[in-house]
Amino acid sequence: MRYELYYWTGIQGRGEFIRLALEDAAADYVDVNRKRGDSAMMPFLRGKQEGALPYAPPFLKAGRLVIAQTATILAYLGPRLGLVPGGLGAEIYAQQLQATITDLLAEVHDTHHPIAVDLYYEQQRSAARKRAQAFREERLPKYLAYFENVLERGNGRQALSRHSYVDLSLFQVVSGLDYAFPNAMQRVQKRMPRLRALAGRIAERPNVRAYLASPRRIPFNQDGVFRHYPELDSSR
């Protein structure tokens, strides 16, 4: 099966979680927009294509199936790419964890867009400072502690006992948070040894390492979910 991924060409964004899974598994895929431009998505978003109607990118075409929503795409790809341990319990647990990563991403996005997604950051900077502070002080430590606890429990239990798409996504979360909030991440560094070790292991997986060094990996920038505005980070 040759998978077709549709996602914005200029950012890692939510599409990066799909790219990492496809790259790690050495799947046969086309990053369609890279070849044909972002307008390639429009017939799908406007309902001119058969199959499921996506609300937004990313979406994946797999044969006749059209699948949108990052966590749903990964729930579909996981078993097919060998990126989730076998068994119902592990699959469901992976889906739950990915859904929680989705929640975290929405909160990261809203640190720079707390009022309106349709306005520029500069138009909501004052609220962004307040929301980012609450995120750094309350939400970021809570999410990281949660995933750290999941990893601590994971050994010998059902989910995350073997490599999975959730591991790849947690690598991306840690990488993105390091980029966006380097000082805040430094402060919680000691409380996340397992997450840090996991991110290090993922970065060294041969296919991931080759991908990260390739031009296919778009650098973090100020248009994606993870953005670095120094005024939204902690002071050093």
Which chain residues interact with its own copies by CB under 8 A? 47, 51-55, 64-65, 67-69, 71-72, 75-76, 88-89, 92-93, 95-96, 99-100, 102-103, 106, 110, 114-119, 124, 127, 130-131, 134, 138-139, 143, 146, 149-150, 153, 158-159
Structure tokens at 107: 């909160």
Tell me if 171 sits within 8 A of 204, measured CB to CB: no
In the bound state with its own copies, the residue whose beta carbon lies nearer, of 156 and 206, is 156
In the bound state with its own copies, the residue whose beta carbon lies nearer, of 123 and 221, is 123
The letter for the amino acid at 174 is V
Q: Which residues contact 25 (CB under 8 A, 6 or more apart)?
A: 77, 81, 82, 83, 207
In the complex, least distance from residue 189 CB atom to its own copies, rounded to whole angstroms: 21
In the complex, least distance from residue 234 CB atom to its own copies, rounded to whole angstroms: 16
In the complex, least distance from residue 130 CB atom to its own copies, rounded to whole angstroms: 5
In the bound state with its own copies, the residue whose beta carbon lies nearer, of 84 and 208, is 84
In the bound state with its own copies, the residue whose beta carbon lies nearer, of 132 and 185, is 132
In the complex, least distance from residue 206 CB atom to its own copies, rounded to whole angstroms: 30
In the bound state with its own copies, the residue whose beta carbon lies nearer, of 2 and 153, is 153
The letter for the amino acid at 80 is R
In the bound state with its own copies, the residue whose beta carbon lies nearer, of 158 and 207, is 158
Tell me if 21 sits within 8 A of 83, measured CB to CB: yes
> Across-strand partners of 125?
none
Question: Pairing mode, if any, of strands 3-6 and 59-62?
Answer: antiparallel
In the complex, least distance from residue 6 CB atom to its own copies, rounded to whole angstroms: 14
Q: Which residues contact 85 (CB under 8 A, 6 or more apart)?
A: 94, 158, 159, 160, 161, 162, 164
Q: For 52-122, where are the E strands, in sequence order?
A: 59-62, 65-68
Question: Pairing mode, if any, of strands 29-31 and 3-6?
Answer: parallel
Q: For the chain, where are the E strands, in sequence order?
A: 3-6, 29-31, 59-62, 65-68
In the complex, least distance from residue 53 CB atom to its own copies, rounded to whole angstroms: 5
